Amino acid sequence: MSNWVRAHTNIALIKYWGKENENLIIPMNNSLSLTLDAFYTETNVTFDDDLKSDQLYLNGHMQDFNALIKVKTVLDLVRKKAGIKTKARVDSYNYVPTAAGLASSASGLAALAGSASRAAGLDLSSKDLSKLARRGSGSASRSIYGGFAEWQKGHSHETSFAVPVDAADWDIGMLFIVVNDKKKDISSREGMSRTVNTSPFYQGWLDTLDADLNTMKEAIKNQDVHKVGEIAERNALKMHATTLGAKPPFTYWSPDSIKAMDAVKQLRETGFSVHFTMDAGPNVKLICRQSELEDIKHHLLVDFKESQLISAKPGPGLHAISKPN
């Protein structure tokens, strides 16, 4: 019997940046994201008595021990809950357009949590799936849900999970400007920990988050795409500002990221309701009306190649599929 599931990636509009507990992945702050249709992971887990160790096949290729670390954390938790010791084979396919250079940890670890728990015979609630996915990668806790989701930080494994906020079945979309498809130098895990431990700006970041989260939820309720983008852009800039104060300092921006941000500003001056956000890498993600995606893309073709521009609409939550794509 197969246990194929699909989970879509999500992009945070209020960022998760810093852990209160590194082991349990309890964040310093609540975060809020939009799950997208364009990028997803499909995964099937099989527990097999004949296996001597866990195995991970990514896009058909067997992965080494390093790639298995996060996967093993989730598998061990599932085994503990199901009372089994059996090793597992994980088959996972990432449907992120080639060269997109976007992190697949959110969709990957959410899909793993979904498939591994089914394969072990566990029938977990969305809340329990979110907690399980969180232990693999924090942002994966939010990919259990479609539309907008909030990861409520909590203070323990039991109390830190995401909840759905809004189905996002209105005129909102995202456009990715891919400026670099290389693996990032500083992982989000290392970047956060360095910032929390050394940046004097980190407390300033934390101090403004409640206000950002509240106004963001209000803007989502009002389906106000301009306000959603405005809050998200400022939130992302504040997050990225903390990294400049770290020791040693670092930034995820490249010259092309700044070129993309300038292009967004110009589009805004032309009258589009468009803002940007960025994560632990140089790619820039635009927040705009879904109905204006193609128009905005057209304007961006002056500065960027068509292959660098990928449109995305709100996507669904974790779900079972009968067979892979």
Query: Which residues sit at the interface with ligand PMV, rule CB under 6 A?
Result: 12, 15-16, 31, 103, 105, 137-139, 188-189, 279-280
Closest to ligand PMV by CB, 103 or 300: 103
164 preceded by cis ω (within 30°)?
Answer: no
Residue placing its CB nearer to ligand PMV in the complex, 74 or 119: 74
Q: Which is closer to ligand PMV, CB of 82 or CB of 241?
A: 241
CB closer to ligand PMV out of 15 and 72: 15
Least Å distance, CB 12 to ligand PMV, is 3
Tokens of 296: 């905005």
Question: Is residue 54 a contact partner of residue 88, using CB atoms and an 8 Å limit?
Answer: yes
Total number of residues shown for the chain: 325
Q: Where are the beta strands (DSSP E) in the chain?
A: 5-14, 19-21, 26-27, 31-47, 55-58, 61-62, 88-95, 148-152, 161-166, 173-177, 275-278, 284-288, 309-312, 319-320
Q: How far is the CB of 137 from ligand PMV (least distance, A)?
A: 4
Strand order in the sheet with 275-278: 275-278, 284-288, 173-177, 309-312
- When the beta carbons of 10 and 308 are compared against ligand PMV, the nearer one is 10
Minimal distance, residue 1 CB to ligand PMV, in Å: 31
Closest contact distance (angstroms) between CB of 27 and ligand PMV is: 8
User: Which among 108, 95, 13 has a CA at the least distance from the CA of 318?
Assistant: 108
Give me the least distance between CB of 147 and ligand PMV, in Å please: 16
Q: C-beta of 319: minimal distance to ligand PMV in Å?
A: 21
Nearest to 133 by CA among 148, 115, 119: 115
Task: State in angstroms the smallest separation of the CB of 192 from ligand PMV.
Answer: 7
Q: What is the three-state SS of 97-125? A: CCCCCCCCHHHHHHHHHHHHHHHCCCCCC
Q: How many CA atoms lie within 13 Å of 5's alpha carbon, on the beta-carbon side?
A: 27
What SS3 class is residue 202? helix
Query: What is the smallest separation between the CB atom of 249 and ligand PMV, expressed in angstroms?
Result: 17
Nearer to ligand PMV, 31 or 73 (CB): 31
- Give 70 or 297: the residue with its C-beta nearer to ligand PMV: 70
For ligand PMV, give the closer residue by CB, 232 or 280.
280
Q: Which amino acid is at 139?
A: S
How far is 13 from 311, CA to CA, in rounded Å? Answer: 17
